[in-house]
Structure 1
């Protein structure tokens, strides 16, 4: 076992079966939302596992979205947001006139995903909705609500299922939390 995992006190918050059920439910709700010419954009890095599972579930729910990736940063090397969001890697697709669904792992302050949504709308997207696995509403500093939410998340430091602590834990098949 990874030495980092042994040294940290890691607890399971949402296990694999719970996550799978949540993803299937979200895909069903998204498929009923009336999207046309859908472009799904995964906000990297943390959302990559959730996005992959959700995109496959969207297929089974009858949707055939195109898929893109955007990398945004407001953290730099630290664990606290700087408040300024920058595009690290942009999408290649033209979003003008399209329905866009942004997928992110966790909605906390709202700065990053709000920036992404505003960017897509400024570029002419017909619609720019947001799907997140976890919502920490008490951490919000930007007035924003996601259109699709997997779980309302307690104020814990969560890892796994794509989310990390200093680039560790992303590979875990569950969402866990670390003792403070």
Structure 2
């Protein structure tokens, strides 16, 4: 576990800003009138966004099912290795359904492109991507999010499901780790 304290994190997107944006994204998704919606949550980082977005969709009257997939292109570092591996697959049929893939960050695009292509290969009627954070500077493949919470510079962000060394996922906001030089340490 990382030994940094939360006071070494600069807030980038507050809990209130996230809640407001999640509701707006849910409204956009509801307006698309999804057919037999299956939400596929990319673990681990996408769980918090997916939970809040699912509840918001319910308030808009959207009925859905939830599945989880675990994909990795990171290994132990902070940059993608370029190779996507399926660590845990969904167990639900997607053929003929609308699939919404939910993840925390769209950066290199490798993982979400892989997931989108996989759902299309399995016969999904329509596949859309919802990402809380879009970091287009790091994009390595041609892919865009259909529903994006916030566009972010190429920072390594933590909180709201995102981690650094398995720490900070529980924070209610999205922040950037601050170096000791920046806090006067």
Alignment partner, residue 126 of structure 1: 125
Alignment partner, residue 81 of structure 1: 80
CA shift, 1:73, in A, is: 0.5
CA shift, 1:4, in A, is: 2.6
Supply the distance in 1 between the matched residues of 2:65 and 2:164 (Cα, whole angstroms): 30
Runs (4 or more) in structure 1 with deviation over 6 Å come to: none
Q: Helix, strand or coil for the counterpart of 1:138?
A: helix
CA shift, 1:118, in A, is: 0.0
Q: How does 1:156-171 map to 2 (within 5 A)?
A: 156-171=155-170
Supply the distance in 1 between the matched residues of 2:16 and 2:7 (Cα, whole angstroms): 24
Q: How many residues align?
A: 179
Q: TM-score, normalised by structure 2?
A: 0.93
Alignment partner, residue 183 of structure 2: none
Supply the distance in 1 between the matched residues of 2:83 and 2:143 (Cα, whole angstroms): 17
Question: Contact 1:8–1:178 at 8 Å: present in 2 too?
Answer: no
Aligned CA RMSD, in angstroms, stands at: 1.5
Supply the distance in 1 between the matched residues of 2:23 and 2:147 (Cα, whole angstroms): 12
Q: What stretches of structure 2 of length at least 5 have no aligned partner?
A: 180-185
Q: 1:62 to 1:177 in 2, by over 3 A?
A: same
Q: How does 1:21-40 map to 2 (within 5 A)?
A: 21-40=20-39
Q: 1:155 to 1:101 in 2, by over 3 A?
A: same
Supply the distance in 2 between the matched residues of 1:7 and 1:169 (Cα, whole angstroms): 8
Q: 1:5 to 1:61 in 2, by over 3 A?
A: farther
Supply the distance in 1 between the matched residues of 2:3 and 2:61 (Cα, whole angstroms): 41
Alignment partner, residue 105 of structure 1: 104
